[in-house]
Structure 1
Amino acid sequence: MAVGEPIRPEDAVDRSEGFGERLLGQLLDRAHEMPPQLIAPLVSEEVRAIGGRDVSILLQDYAQISLVPLPGRGLTDGEPLPLEGSLAGRAFLSESIVEHPQTDGVRMFLPLLDGSDEIGVMALTLDRVNGDDRRLLRRLAGLVADMLVTKNSYTDQFFRARRREPMSVSAEIQWSLLPPLTMTTPQVAVAGILEPAYDIAGDSLDYALNDDILHMAMIDAMGHGLNAAVLATVAVGAYRHARRSDADLSELYAFMDTAIDQQFGPDHFVTAQMMRLNIGTGRLEWVNAGHPAPLLIRDHKVIGALEGSGTLPVGFGGSTPRINREQLRRGDRVLAYTDGLIEEHTTGGELFGEERLITTIERVGPASATIQQMARKLSHALIRERGGITSDDASLFLIEWRGGSADHLTRPLL
């Protein structure tokens, strides 16, 4: 057809609604003004429209140990399910649909993913399943995940469902500060976990992917309890403010240092690791302000600590820091962690130490299909290695550089 020639009816794109589009479209249309408490009956209604029943929405708990049923009209309630050893957990960990044939049909477990952030699992039963059902349900699960994340901003319903223990005020503050603990793109993936989940105080982390630069900070505020949480809050706020003002790493350190000193005086400090990774080239830069050196992991082996030049903790007024640099290879992982991970004493009084941390990393890494699984398994394995003792905050953050490009995601599928 020539440029400028009128479109003939036979050349026009068919824009009529099919069943699946109409189902998802109606859900999307109604979701805009839907109060949080009506999400459950709305999802249940949509599932019934395709012949489904016994709908459950399971959310990951804060300690990343179990999947907890979300209560609500139209949803099937029950006991929390373990991430390890349950069908729902398998769907969550593999980020794929799991099907379980039963006498009265097929039980479906669909991961709820907001982008790449793992929210939980949606479970339902159908009499029979075909490819069209799987495609429609996968898209429905994606839309449900987006709704949960959006509505989460103005309700306590989902927070309460995810709690398996009472939460301290300091932990409440820290969880409200955090970005999503997982992010996956074709070029880079990140995953973090904070312990003790219900009593975390001074540990925090933050990241942002701006064009080709991944910005990351890990923070450990001095002290315990509410005072540490307040100190960490100011540190994270100062970091974000400087980062969003396009400050370089040296300026970031100076801004955070001034903010902590002016607010709390010379007797308070924060150790911090600030990093920047060019996700196109794999060039890593970092400033270490009194923090444990991150570990470089290649082919599931720890090849060394990224020591470099350090400076004083934030708040002590260190000199202008030197920028450390490392060229990553595709598939490399970098682990940043707080000192509570290695300075805990085991039952016999022995310091846990970096050597045992490295041994655990090299044992857990090969058994982990994704960086998210590695972060979770590593944290839980370290807790077991310490005999369940976590007297100080013990947090970790993993970065995996994959390289390449994400341009293929912008190409039309039609």
Structure 2
Amino acid sequence: MSVRPASVGSFLRSAPPDRLPEVVAEHLRTWFPVSDVELLLSDLTLSSLWPLLDPESPTGGALEQRCFGSQQPIVDNGSRRLLLPLTTWGDRLGVLRIDLTETPTSELRAELTTVADELALGLRAADKDTDRYRQIVRRQRLTMAAELQWDLLPGRSLSGERFQLAGQLEPAYAMYGDHYDWAVTDDRLTLTVLNGDGDGIEAALLTTVAVNAMRNARRSGANIVEQAELASDAVYSRYGGGLHVATLLLEIDLTGGTIEAVDAGSPRALVAHDGDIRAVSLEQQLPLGMFGDSRYETQKFQLEPGDRLLVVSDGVHAAAPGGRSPYGESGLLTALRRTRLQPPTEAVGTVIRALREYHAGSDPDDDAVIVCLDWLRQSA
């Protein structure tokens, strides 16, 4: 009698990068009481789930969306269907839908959850070597600027023992110069939100120079002042002061909640706690690349246990469609209060949808970035 392999991981590692879903489907049908399998990936706007194995089948319904949003397995006992989130380090990819021939026990659910986790990790690694998965999540063609921006992003969400983090760009298919970046190392989270000059591919190229300069400095062990100064020098050497990048750089101590900040332009930060929302007051310095040899200084502010930090570009806080008051003066605060019970992955979508409603059908004048961080450290 054949013995079930201990893990699907070895099969995934030996499979072509574009065939991972088929490998998992075959593994599940062979070794588990499974009649059907479908992999659903989230589109770029995080608003719908699209089938991969059978692209002609329906998109994910209410149960699949609930699984994706809650990041919890869902069992539909009536149909013996099991829905499992596909997530790596908090970055939500989609949902694995499994139809079973028997009611799942807790042991079976645990085994299938492990398969889903291994598939998610494989999908994230394989994404660099095949276009198959990106073709599914794109529901229309990206502009060249948006292509550059999406390739530059670190991911759409990230989580650890002490934090949950998510970001979103709007519009997804025709971005300009707004961007975010993050990295976590040794209990320190570096977060940047940028707003580059101009529009179209020139704005995207400008942002690409700034982001990669900051990454180059960060990966060499530089602090956020050195990151800002290297990026400013790189932008100035390329554009001679004609274009610049408004940037907010934050370095967050995940053990103590202290944040060091370099405020070099228009992105704004707000902190919410128990329903109260306050703007973070920082002394604004020159945008990156405005002058040669620009020098920057850090400022500090403190997060308390349970605080939510929201960072937005000027496409959010300064949006004033049809001569209305800026969205940041009232609409943003209202939207942020609605997110009180939502995790950051859902909160950024809530704020984006409220921003769309604020434009009341008119086309935005600027793209928008929203990044949401929850600091989870419990008070002593």
TM-score when scaled to structure 2? 0.93
Q: How far does the alpha carbon of each residue in 1:130-181 deviate from its partner, in whole angstroms, 9 at most, with x for none? A: 1111111111110111111111110000000001122111101110011122
* 1:359 aligned onto 2:301: no
Q: Matched residues, percent identical?
A: 30
Q: Secondary structure at the match of 2:368?
A: coil
Partner residue, 1:97: 73
Partner residue, 2:57: 78
Q: Secondary structure at the match of 1:56?
A: strand
Q: How far does the alpha carbon of each residue in 1:372-396 deviate from its partner, in whole angstroms, 9 at most, with x for none? A: 1111222122212222433311111
Q: One-letter code of the match for 1:363?
A: R
* 1:391 aligned onto 2:365: yes
5+ residue gaps, structure 2, are none
Structure 2 distance, partners of 1:403, 1:171, is: 35
1:367 Cα deviation after fit = 4.0
Structure 1 distance, partners of 2:49, 2:326, is: 30
Structure 1 distance, partners of 2:284, 2:125, is: 40
Structure 2 distance, partners of 1:37, 1:358, is: 41
* 1:60 aligned onto 2:42: yes
Q: Secondary structure at the match of 2:234?
A: helix
* 1:123 aligned onto 2:102: no
Cα 1:340–1:192 change in 2 (3 A) is same
Q: One-letter code of the match for 2:69?
A: L
Structure 1 distance, partners of 2:297, 2:319, is: 30
Structure 2 distance, partners of 1:37, 1:210, is: 31
Partner residue, 1:3: none
Partner residue, 1:316: 290
1:193 Cα deviation after fit = 0.3
Q: 2:23 aligns with which of 24, 27, 42?
A: 42
Contact 2:306–2:375 at 8 Å: present in 1 too? yes
Q: Secondary structure at the match of 2:121?
A: helix
Give the 5 Å matches for 1:4-403. 22-25=4-7, 27-48=8-29, 49-70=31-52, 72=53, 75=54, 77-81=56-60, 86-102=62-78, 105-127=79-101, 128-302=103-277, 304-317=278-291, 319-346=294-321, 348-368=322-342, 370-388=343-361, 389-403=363-377
Structure 2 distance, partners of 1:227, 1:87, is: 42
1:343 Cα deviation after fit = 2.8
Structure 1 distance, partners of 2:182, 2:328, is: 25
1:36 Cα deviation after fit = 2.7
Structure 1 distance, partners of 2:256, 2:167, is: 23
Number of residue equivalences = 374
CA RMSD of aligned residues (A): 1.9
Q: One-letter code of the match for 1:99?
A: V
TM-score when scaled to structure 1? 0.86
Structure 2 distance, partners of 1:179, 1:242, is: 16
Structure 1, 240-249 or 206-215: larger mean CA deviation: 240-249
1:23 Cα deviation after fit = 3.4
Structure 2 distance, partners of 1:329, 1:278, is: 12
Structure 2 distance, partners of 1:199, 1:300, is: 34
Larger Rg: 1
Q: Secondary structure at the match of 1:32?
A: helix
Structure 1 distance, partners of 2:351, 2:344, is: 10
Q: One-letter code of the match for 2:299?
A: N
Cα 1:184–1:300 change in 2 (3 A) is farther
Structure 2 distance, partners of 1:77, 1:300, is: 44
Structure 1 runs of 4+ aligned residues shifted over 6 Å read: none
Cα 1:35–1:345 change in 2 (3 A) is same
Contact 1:335–1:399 at 8 Å: present in 2 too? yes
Structure 1 distance, partners of 2:82, 2:300, is: 47
Structure 1 distance, partners of 2:236, 2:333, is: 38
Structure 2 distance, partners of 1:385, 1:133, is: 47
Structure 1 distance, partners of 2:11, 2:215, is: 35
